[in-house]
Amino acid sequence: MLAHRFAVKWAVRRDSCRILGGVMASSFVPRQPEGPPTPPPGAPAALGPRRTPATSEATRLLCAGAYLDDAFRDAVVDELYVHEERFAAPSLGFDASRVLAHALRARRVELGWAAGILALWIIALPLTKGLIGLLIVPFLVLGLGRWIRGRSATAPVYRVVPAFVLRWYGRLMLVQSALLLLLLAFGDLERGGEFLGDGYGGGYGDDLGFGELLGLGVSVAAEEIWGIGRAEVWITLAVPLLVAWAVATQRGQFARALTEELSRDRFPDQHSDPAERAEGVRFRRLRDRIRVEQHARLVMYGADDPFCGAGEPYEPWSLSVELRPRADLGEDGPEPLDNSAVMRHVVPLVEALRVPSPHGSPQLREAVRDRLRELEIDEVVFLPVDGLPARTAAPYSPEGYERHRSGSIEEGGEARRHFLRIRVGGWDEEIVTTVFVRVHTQGGMLMLEVAPHVLRPVKPLYRYADRIAHRYRHNHTFGKAVWALGQTPRSAGQALVTIGRSLGHAWRLLTGGHARALPEGPGLSVRELGSDDEASLFQEMDVSRYLKSVQDRVTNGVTSALREAGYETAEFEQRIVHVAEGGTFIENTRGNVTLGNHNTVTSKTFTQATTGGNRG
């Protein structure tokens, strides 16, 4: 009798722990370490030392993009520095705070040179008594043509034609102005004045105004031009040379940053990074806040884009099956099946992907470099930002996270959601494959949601940053001079744009009230903003392999959980694993997809039998 009572008591305690284990106990998935993952017993050591997100190749290239792409730089500053009320998007495989540090540093350098270049042009106006207008007008025409053409590689015809005409007209004006200045500098000033009045005016006589010739709308008699001395002429000739020197020096400073601070050898030493040592209370405060938010397992999201930071969705899918007890269970019936129990079957199968398959020798096994060996698994809880009084009120403490994790894993809520996050960072974190898995049981049904996302490589311009900087620094002096002179016509306009953008940021900081605004979800992801739209064939093949491997282990884990709890698995296996002769069935939001021959596809509106082909 005593033994029977002890057995009943133990059974009740066992079932209670199984039901509440995922709620009251600690997380069933440990926090992933920063270093290489700990392999299971008997498994070889992981790939060489894994870099932390702050020193990854993706972080380095995005920092380089802050120097090469002014639009990207301004977007980073606006999102992470100006909009202080916005939470930082999850940073998968990189460090957004370090990208912000280099974006602010690049903007300070560019702003300083822009102010100096603009000052040169402004000071030259009184010093040359307006003679600098001979160069300003052609530069304005060239800039107008470039603005009409735009930056697109395939501009429409209605832009290309007028831009072509304006640019060539500006070049002809520039050549004519340069010849005139050389005549005034090395020839007779009186003849140069006559040329301005007669020859340069097309034979209209001395009554034609010098300002009218230049298109400035200012009437200055040709006789007044004779009052210009050689000093004004030489200053006019020296100004574009000084501007070209400033442009070349700024370019050299950026190239030096790319080849030194952002080189592959020095970048891992984060403490010696000059951008990290930047002064400013606001920057240090935001930097520390971003580093807490971007890698936290508590994801504060906005309703418009809850997966911001994970990349593009890659065929998300979901399905639901009826929980039917097996007929061979007898009177005992199936065991209770909750969300935690299903996840406890999924996690070990996914973790086993880190272990290389058996090889002929330990040396061969150690040599396996598959990125699945660095697969990361953790639990994340998505929380909406609505209702928080301030950004600092987010419950990022371990206690706060555990409270939300234990409360969300079984509730199946709409706003607060619990996911298993499985991540593989390939190609030095340039290809990041993330699979979000959510399981929920309700009303005798099991719902499985799988949301794969992919972050593609950074933009080609950023990937070529090392080559661009190396080619510039090792180019000969003549090549650098030609490049700088070619950038001189647009220098004044570019300086105005740079100063205008900086003033706009400063104005929004002063008047926007972002510091005390109600918190918002991430507006954009720095990593997504700097990503390319395409990947190489090798990279796409790796993404496909990662996703197939992870999703297969997830479905096997769910099947194992159903079978062990005493439920039928035939319907689940038919819908997700096997249909007809090797076909794979996925029920997604866009309909049903089958792979294989002689499959039958059933939807709400019709039934179609396929007798051939590989896709139906």
SS3 letters across 169-212: HHHHHHHHHHHHHHHHHHCCHHHHHHHHHHHCCCCCCCCCCHHH
Radius of gyration of the chain (CA): 33
- 185 burial (CB, 10 Å; 0-12 / 13-18 / 19+) is middle
Task: Identify any residues that bridge with 458 across adjacent strands, giving them in sequence order.
Answer: 531
**Measured CA distances, 364 to 44, 353, 558 (Å):** 10, 17, 33
pLDDT per position as a tens digit, 200-213: 444 333 433 444 44
Question: Which of 88-97, 98-107, 174-183, 561-570 has the least mean pLDDT?
Answer: 174-183
Task: Identify any residues that bridge with 321 across adjacent strands, giving them in sequence order.
Answer: 446
DSSP state of 426: E
Please, which pLDDT band fits residue 5 given cuts at 50, 70 and 90? very low
- 538 burial (CB, 10 Å; 0-12 / 13-18 / 19+) is exposed
Spatial CA neighbour of 520 closest among 63, 86, 141, 35:
86
Q: What is the pLDDT of residue 465?
A: 92
Which comes out higher in pLDDT, residue 577 or 198? 577
* Token output for 36: 């290489």
State yes or no: pLDDT of 37 exceeds 80: no
pLDDT per position as a tens digit, 485-536: 888 888 888 888 899 999 998 898 888 888 888 999 999 999 999 999 888 9
Spatial CA neighbour of 77 closest among 292, 287, 305:
287
Cα 388 to its chain centre, rounded Å, is: 26
Question: Which of 108-122, 346-360, 375-389, 415-429 has the least mean pLDDT?
Answer: 346-360
Q: What is the pLDDT of residue 56?
A: 92
Q: Mean pLDDT of all residues in the chain?
A: 78
Q: Rounded to whole angstroms, how far apart are CA atoms 327 and 329?
A: 6
- Give me the phi and psi of 382, to 5 degrees please: -95, 125
Q: Rounded to whole angstroms, how far apart are CA atoms 216 and 67?
A: 36
Q: Which helix (H) or strand (E) holds 585?
A: strand 584-588
- Say what the pTM is: 0.79
State yes or no: pLDDT of 443 exceeds 70: yes
Which residues, 6 or more positions from 202, have their beta carbon under 8 angstroms from its beta carbon? none
State yes or no: pLDDT of 181 exceeds 70: yes
Task: Identify any residues that bridge with 567 across adjacent strands, giving them in sequence order.
Answer: 325
Strands 376-384 and 584-588: unpaired
Q: What is the pLDDT of residue 10?
A: 40
**Measured CA distances, 360 to 354, 357, 364, 374 (Å):** 18, 10, 7, 22
